[in-house]
Chains A and B, each alone.
Chain A
Amino acid sequence: MPTIRVQTEDFDVGAEIARLHAGNPKVGAVASFVGLCRDVNEGDAVATMTLEHYPGMTEKALAGIVDEAMARWSIMDVTVVHRVGEMKPTDQIVLVVIAGAHRGEAFAACEFIMDYLKTRAPFWKKEQTAEGARWVDARATDDDSAARWSAGEKSAA
């Protein structure tokens, strides 16, 4: 059963990885991704960042993305944790963990979930800089990354 959580608290990567394959000797590969808050964006120093989301839709969107990954790749379990609220540089923002039999499918599913999360899950970042607060603009490169997985393709180019 996939685990999907949206929370203000930090998460423990080691504990999440251990939990995902605990007691399951069929798991031969665990791939994980951690997204972090950086101290600079678009050339400006970032003091803090606030993440807003759309409660209700966020969980549904993430569940849909995870379901699609589990349908496309032969993987056994998935954990997605995304934080909201205020964060500072070096803080963890997002975690994706995939457990599967082999690394290829685990890596691909992990990358797919992040690419889709960045373009389809309703989160928005606002940065506090010395020049004031500003909303982060969406990047065209994120759309390009998500488009790589368009129907029929099983792995990214």
Chain B
Amino acid sequence: MVRILYFAKLREDLGKSAEDLDLPGDVASVAALRSHLMARGGAWATALAQGKALRVAVNHDMADAATPIKAGDEVAFFPPVTGG
């Protein structure tokens, strides 16, 4: 089980701020999780499509496509940040 969070415009586009998900064994990286979520189709396929400017954090650290994911992790997807 991983905890997945969505923020800002992505949260609105997906209509969801958080979920807990049991991952299939072959979903073990950020890139694989993104593909897994895109396979839901609809807004998921659109909002998470390759080429969309998205950032990902794993356990509160900025991550990239190759960052591994394991049970118990907290993974967050969000647009490029705009604070300050």
Query: Contacts of B53 on A, CB cut-off 8 Å?
Result: 138
Contact A94 B83 (CB under 8 A): yes
Interface string of A35-74 (1 = CB under 8 A from B): 1000000000000000111101100110000000000000
Residues in B21-74 with C-beta less than 8 Å from chain A:
53, 57, 60-62
Contact B8 A118 (CB under 8 A): no
Query: Contacts of A52 on B, CB cut-off 8 Å?
Result: 7-8
A to B contact number (C-beta, < 8 Å): 72
B7's partner among A61, A124, A137 (CB-CB below 8 A) is A124
Q: State the Cβ distance, B4 to closest chain A Cβ, in Å.
A: 13
Of all chain B residues, the one with the shortest Cβ separation from A123 is B83
Contact A121 B83 (CB under 8 A): yes
**Considering only CB atoms and an 8 Å cut-off, how many residues of chain B contact the other chain?**
17
Contact B78 A120 (CB under 8 A): no
Instruction: Say yes or no: is B16 at the interface (Cβ < 8 Å to chain A).
Output: no
Instruction: Say yes or no: is B14 at the interface (Cβ < 8 Å to chain A).
Output: no
Contact A124 B57 (CB under 8 A): no
B60's partner among A56, A118, A137 (CB-CB below 8 A) is A56
Of all chain B residues, the one with the shortest Cβ separation from A52 is B8
Q: List chain A positions with a Cβ less than 8 A from chain B.
A: 35, 51-54, 56-57, 60-61, 82, 93-94, 114, 117-126, 135-138
Interface CB pairs A-B, < 8 A, 29:
A51-B83, A53-B83, A54-B7, A54-B78, A56-B60, A60-B61, A82-B83, A82-B84, A93-B84, A114-B84, A117-B83, A117-B84, A118-B81, A118-B83, A118-B84, A119-B80, A121-B83, A122-B7, A122-B57, A122-B76, A123-B81, A123-B84, A124-B7, A124-B9, A124-B79, A124-B81, A124-B83, A135-B9, A138-B80
